[in-house]
Chains A and B, each alone.
Chain A
Amino acid sequence: MDADSLAQVKPERPVGVAIVDDHPVVIDGVRAWLATEPRLTVLATGDDPDEVLRADPAADVILLDLRLHGRTVLDKLAELSAAGRRVVVYSEHSDPQTMLAALDAGAVAFLAKHEGREHCVATVLDAAADRPYVAPALAGAMVGDSRPDRPVLSDKEREALLLWFQSMSKASVARRMRISEHTVKQYVDRARIKYSRVGRPAATKAALLARAIEDGLIRPEEIGIYRSHAATDWPTP
């Protein structure tokens, strides 16, 4: 887990989480995962995003099952993201197309359901701070992306994504690439930030970009003329 990013979350107020899923057993399971982290508190749950948000409009992060009552709710996801809601999508449909479509629609992060236990808390905390969190399944989808409008990733970013997808261990990726674990995370996160330029604009994407600039993950001048700068590597200390 990435302690360096978690440490920066404001300690004053716990992050409010809403869980939207049509299976009560899943809600209970996710609630149990989140309960292990004192900085998180579950404010509302239910199977309808609108009702859940009416019940508690203050939720910082929405955990959304992409399939509700047999219907894929990509449109709802886009609507929430456009309104500035930080949505972490989690789904048992972890095929690359679905994951990339969720990013395009403005999801802050994507978790495959089987990755939940290990990555759920870190993902929600990072999402609350408008920071990217890339779980291995999403890394795989990004590295295998062959769409013509995909962002241009540098060789190092691709390699970091690929090895992270293969091994699920940033420590092992760091040893393999002979760089620090921190740098591995930077490569992976920078690749993810480049995806906030793909698909329709959303307030959440702008927030991710703004935070990435603030954190020094990406340079402001890289945003306007993205493609020409994207292929260059600039290792950070």
Chain B
Amino acid sequence: MSTEPGTAGTQTQHVPVPRTPELVMATRAGRAAAAVVRISDRGARIAVVTIALVWHLAIGLPAVLAARSQLAAPQVVVGAWLLVAALGGLAGAWLLRDAALPALPLAALLLAVDVAVFAAAGRSQLFGPANWVWGGLAWFFVVVLWRRPVHWLFALLAAHACTGVAAVVLYGATEAPDLARAIMALYATSSLPAAVFAGGATLTALSRDRAATAATTNAMVAEREAAEQARRDRRERLALVSAAAGEVLTELAQGRADPADPQVQRRCTHAAARLRRLIAESDDVPHPLLHELRAAADLAERNGLPIELVTIGTPPPLPVQVRRSLTDPLIAVLADARDWARLTVVSSSDEVVVALVTPDAAGPEANAPPAGDGDGRVEHRYERDGKIRWTQTRWHR
């Protein structure tokens, strides 16, 4: 006799699942570290944006306006100031809202401004405060390159220095005092932004490491506690099961129980099945799926059903709805199983197959289990062939 599968459902909606416990731990640690980094360098970002804009407004603007008439091309200098003010404001707002800046185009624009202002300032204002790019521009470099590698900033500062030196040479300001002024100006205006930038990067890296270490440690502590809990549970269950097995063995040894008595045979079968299941539990921390199946097996057994549970391999972490789709149909069939039941779980990193086989008692098509409820890639089969009822759920990555 052969019957068609009672129900067979295949769902294809994908549920993203972390691959291994190590990866889950690493992902969690990574997320925690990223959050810490975001929070911890917020202060530094506010400081950098504030310094850049305040310097630009309070030192650069008055100097430009006061010396406007002495500039070779005042429109260019003022226009560049306005452009950088707008750009700095935008970039600052962006940075404070945690968005990534298009660093390279912005850096290129700042360098173009650098060259234009040096050219438009003229010889008389080359070292004057109206040539605002000497001092103010480096802070904008820091803003647009925030969180980039520190050598990007050094490269940009070097380009800035080259522009300055080229201007000095081209304007013919090669007297010793002029050169000294140029070097002083470059050193004074570059060192502080570079220090702030490097300091910020170092602090960020340190806090990221610390956060990752803390998250990993927490995960390990949680894992150890779960393992100890599992061990305590098993010891308690072993004590119970051993007591039950010892009792029936003692009665047999003393001749108070008759090996031919079906009741005694049943007690032996139960005790053996429970001991075997307990021995088969080799995982330190029970996977939630195995935990649920063991609980279902224990329940069925308390209702008088000798049940075997064999697991092979370790299931990957599974979302709760996938676990439910895997276990629910089997638990429904288990509820009216008679005589015996065999529950098997075969797992690999990208497949979990759970099957329940029970004898196919004659009778109506009772309790064909419901198909999965459409949450995850769990395939469900149920068939009976007159000898056995076979329920299988299978999850594929």
- Tell yes or no: B254 within 8 A of A by CB: no
- Tell yes or no: B282 within 8 A of A by CB: yes
CB-defined contacts of B344 to chain A, threshold 8 Å: 140, 165-166
- Tell yes or no: B348 within 8 A of A by CB: yes
- Tell yes or no: B287 within 8 A of A by CB: no
A171 with B387, Cβ < 8 A, contacts A144-B312, A146-B313 known:
yes
A176 with B312: CB separation less than 8 A = no
CB-defined contacts of A162 to chain B, threshold 8 Å: 346, 353
CB-defined contacts of B357 to chain A, threshold 8 Å: 166-168
Considering the complex, give the chain A residue whose CB is closest to the CB of B383: A176
B388 with A144: CB separation less than 8 A = no
A143 with B346, Cβ < 8 A, contacts A96-B312, A168-B357, A175-B385 known:
yes
Interface residues of B in 21-78 (CB under 8 A from A): none
- Tell yes or no: A135 within 8 A of B by CB: no
Considering the complex, give the chain B residue whose CB is closest to the CB of A140: B312
CB-defined contacts of A96 to chain B, threshold 8 Å: 312-313
Min CB distance B389 to A, Å, is 10
A166 with B282, Cβ < 8 A, contacts A140-B312, A144-B313, A176-B390 known:
no
Bound Cα distance A141, B276 (Å): 17
B342 with A141: CB separation less than 8 A = no
Contact flags (1/0) for A166-200 with B, using CB distance below 8 Å?
Answer: 11110110011000000000000000000000000
Considering the complex, give the chain B residue whose CB is closest to the CB of A113: B276
Min CB distance A52 to B, Å, is 28
Q: Name which of A162, A166, A176 has the most chain B CB atoms within 10 A of its CB.
A: A166
Bound Cα distance A171, B392 (Å): 17
B390 with A143: CB separation less than 8 A = no
Min CB distance B352 to A, Å, is 11
A144 with B347, Cβ < 8 A, contacts A137-B310, A168-B342, A175-B2 known:
yes
- Tell yes or no: B137 within 8 A of A by CB: no
- Tell yes or no: B355 within 8 A of A by CB: yes
Q: Tell me what chain A mostly uses at the interface: helix, strand, loop, or mixed.
A: helix
Count of chain B residues with a beta carbon within 8 Å of a chain A beta carbon? 22
Contact flags (1/0) for B362-376 with A, using CB distance below 8 Å?
Answer: 000000000000000
A166 with B312: CB separation less than 8 A = no
Contact flags (1/0) for A111-141 with B, using CB distance below 8 Å?
Answer: 0001000000000000000000000010011
CB-defined contacts of A166 to chain B, threshold 8 Å: 342, 344, 353, 355, 357, 390, 392
8 Å CB contact of A172 from B280, B312, B349, B388: B388
A140 with B388: CB separation less than 8 A = no
CB-defined contacts of A176 to chain B, threshold 8 Å: 383, 390
B390 with A165: CB separation less than 8 A = no
Min CB distance A141 to B, Å, is 7
Considering the complex, give the chain A residue whose CB is closest to the CB of B308: A114
CB-defined contacts of B355 to chain A, threshold 8 Å: 166-167
CB-defined contacts of B388 to chain A, threshold 8 Å: 167, 169, 172
Bound Cα distance A165, B347 (Å): 13
Min CB distance A166 to B, Å, is 4
- Tell yes or no: A56 within 8 A of B by CB: no
Bound Cα distance A175, B390 (Å): 12
CB-defined contacts of B313 to chain A, threshold 8 Å: 96, 144, 146
CB-defined contacts of A144 to chain B, threshold 8 Å: 312-313, 346-348
Min CB distance A61 to B, Å, is 26
- Tell yes or no: A28 within 8 A of B by CB: no
Bound Cα distance A172, B392 (Å): 13
Bound Cα distance A123, B33 (Å): 57
Min CB distance A157 to B, Å, is 14
Min CB distance A126 to B, Å, is 23
A95 with B342, Cβ < 8 A, contacts A143-B312, A167-B388 known:
no
CB-defined contacts of B385 to chain A, threshold 8 Å: 172, 175
Min CB distance A144 to B, Å, is 4
Min CB distance A188 to B, Å, is 15
Bound Cα distance A114, B306 (Å): 14
Interface residues of B in 331-353 (CB under 8 A from A): 342, 344, 346-349, 353
- Could you jot down 9 A-B contacts, CB within 8 Å? A95-B280, A96-B313, A114-B276, A137-B310, A140-B312, A140-B344, A165-B312, A166-B357, A166-B392
Q: Which 3 interchain pairs have the tightest Cβ spacing?
A: A144-B312, A166-B355, A144-B313
Question: What residues make up the interface of A, taking CB atoms closer than 8 Å to B?
Answer: 95-96, 114, 137, 140-141, 143-144, 146, 162, 165-169, 171-172, 175-176
- Additional A-B contact list (12), CB under 8 Å, known A166-B353, A166-B355, A167-B390: A96-B313, A114-B276, A140-B310, A140-B312, A143-B346, A144-B312, A144-B347, A146-B348, A165-B312, A166-B392, A167-B355, A172-B390
